[in-house]
Amino acid sequence: MSELHPQLQQDCHHLAALPSGSLLLMRNALLHWFILVPDTRAQDLLDLPAVQLAAVMADCQRVSALLKGPLGYPKVNFAGLGNLVPQMHLHILGRREGDPCWPQPVWGNLAQGSDWNPQQLAELQVVLRESGL
């Protein structure tokens, strides 16, 4: 894992190393909000070489499958913003009708929730392993 931007370190738990980069989880436990940080110095997803872009997107698809499968979300939001944190990072989060922001976007609308507790993180680690992530 390359060094994370201080804001990502503050806001996230490190969950796993994936083929294309690091998988993080936002500390706000109101939603399963994953962040993939590709191993690159590029700032924008579309600047990646084709082979690396394909690997990043494959990992994003795997996280989406986790959200839609074992974690039970019917909808997945995906974005690569990077306006406040220049290090490339991709947001992959589960959404469902009735979640704390539905139907609005989470950005700017998600209330501060409690952090994931150690037991929840351990259970999520098991789900990740069982899902092949």
Give the model confidence (pLDDT) of 37-87 as tens digits. 999 999 999 999 999 999 999 999 999 999 999 999 999 999 998 888 999
90 found inside a domain:
yes
Q: Is the pLDDT of residue 120 over 70?
A: yes
**Dihedral sign, Cα of residue 73, residue 74, residue 80, residue 81:** negative
Task: State the residue range of the domain holding 34.
Answer: 6-99+114-130
121 found inside a domain:
yes
Q: What is the pLDDT of residue 2?
A: 65
What's the number of domains the chain is made of?
1
pTM across the whole model? 0.94
- Domain at 41, CATH number: 3.30.428.10
125 found inside a domain:
yes
Cα–Cα distance between 28 and 11 in angstroms, integer? 8
1-39 b/e with 16+ CB inside 10 Å = b? eeebbeebeebbeebbebebbbbbbbebeebbbbbbbbb
Residue 91: Cβ within 10 Å count: 18
